[in-house]
Amino acid sequence: MGGALIFLMLVIFMPFLPRVFHFAPMHAIDFCLALIAGIVSITWFEILKIFMRKGHIDLLEDKK
């Protein structure tokens, strides 16, 4: 994880690397879509964990 973060920071902040990887500036709508996708994915997983804790959902039960 640390190596990926360092590489990401290098690619973002070194002036020549975005051109090497053909990066373009992010538009506001792209940023908003990424933010919404992240929030939705985290929220549904947290709701799933709550239901699993309360015993409403058992993903490990045998379906015979």
Residue at 34 is within a domain: yes
Residue at 32 is within a domain: yes
- The string of pLDDT tens digits covering residues 3-13 is 988 988 888 88
Ranges of residues in the chain whose predicted pLDDT is under 50: none
- Provide the mean pLDDT of the chain: 85
HSE, CB side, 13 Å, CA atoms: give it for residue 32.
Answer: 3
Domains of the chain: total = 1
Helices (H), the chain: 2-13, 17-20, 28-54
Q: Which domain holds residue 44?
A: 25-64
pLDDT given for residue 35 in this prediction: 93
Residue at 57 is within a domain: yes
Residue 60 has which token pair? 């490990």
Q: Are 59 and 52 in contact (CB under 8 A)?
A: yes
Residue at 60 is within a domain: yes
pLDDT given for residue 44 in this prediction: 93
Residue at 13 is within a domain: no
